Amino acid sequence: MHKLVVIIDDDPISVLVCETMLRKSDFTEKIKTFSNGKDALTFLDNHYEKGNEMPDFIFLDIQMPEISGWDFIEAYGQFSNIPVRTPHVVMLSATFDPDDQRKANDNSLIINFISKPITKEALQNLSKSK
């Protein structure tokens, strides 16, 4: 079981489904959710500044208002206080776009690109890869 998973998604139904799957699968001890990337960036910056470890996974929606998942990744990748630059971001998308898939594959922080809704099988595969 993982210690901490962060979900960043503006759709409350998607968040509920993801949280439900994480709990039913005994995937993590703690879940922290954010409805926008700005709040998540603030939390993570403060989290790392205090010397805390990285979340085991960040489940990140691509299409969000204010800042997109891609904008979040760009800002997050520039953090100077990330403990270890271990890939741990999982991009989530309601629609499959081959360009998004390619961008995800080319980003060193992203370990997977998953179409919503997240499934138990997808979580099992993530646990195996870590």
Q: Going from the N-terminus, what domains does the chain have, and what CATH number goes with each?
A: 2-129 (3.40.50.2300)
Q: Is the pLDDT assigned to residue 96 strictly greater than 80? A: no
User: Do 25 and 7 meet the contact criterion of CB atoms below 8 Å apart?
Assistant: no
Q: Is the pLDDT assigned to residue 83 strictly greater than 70? A: no
Q: What are phi and psi of 67, to 5 degrees?
A: -125, 135
pLDDT of residue 3: 93
**If we measure between CA atoms, which residue out of 119, 12, 110 comes closest to residue 58?**
110
Mean pLDDT, the chain, whole residue set:
90
Q: Is the pLDDT assigned to residue 58 strictly greater than 80? A: yes
- Sign of the torsion formed by the C-alpha atoms of 2, 124, 35 and 41: positive
Kindly report which listed range (45-49, 66-70, 126-130) carries the lowest average pLDDT score: 126-130
State mean pLDDT over 109-129.
89
Task: Flag whether the pTM goes above 0.75.
Answer: yes
Distance CA 54, CA 128 (A): 18
pLDDT of residue 84: 65
pLDDT of residue 106: 92
**If we measure between CA atoms, which residue out of 10, 21, 32 comes closest to residue 125?**
21
